[in-house]
């Protein structure tokens, strides 16, 4: 089994891990109800996504 001959320095380890940070998800505004939601997600308040209603409103479903 291969074993390192010398210890890696803290700078080398930090340089390798420099891209391991967690980035915040980009947010966008719903075009129908102006709620801030993550990109590529169905709006939880109105069910609108990509220019159409994907999920029916709770009020419409209970009226039927």
**Considering the entire predicted model, what is its pTM?**
0.53
**Distance between CA atoms of residues 46 and 28, nearest Å:** 15
**Distance between CA atoms of residues 7 and 30, nearest Å:** 51
Contact between 34 and 21 (Cβ < 8 Å): no
CB atoms within 10 A of CB 8: 10
pLDDT tens string 10-51: 999 999 999 999 999 999 999 888 899 999 999 988 888 888
| Position 64 confidence tier, pLDDT thresholds 50, 70, 90 | low
Q: Where are the domains of the chain?
A: 22-63
pLDDT at 32 (0 to 100): 87
| Position 60 confidence tier, pLDDT thresholds 50, 70, 90 | low
């Amino acid at each position: 089994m291969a074993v390192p001959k010398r210890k890696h320095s803290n700078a080398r380890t930090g340089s390798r891990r420099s891209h391991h940070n967690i980035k915040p998800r980009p947010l966008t505004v719903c075009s129908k109800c102006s709620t801030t939601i993550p990109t590529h997600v169905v709006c939880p308040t109105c069910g609108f996504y990509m220019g159409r209603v994907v999920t029916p409103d709770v009020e419409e479903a209970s009226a039927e």
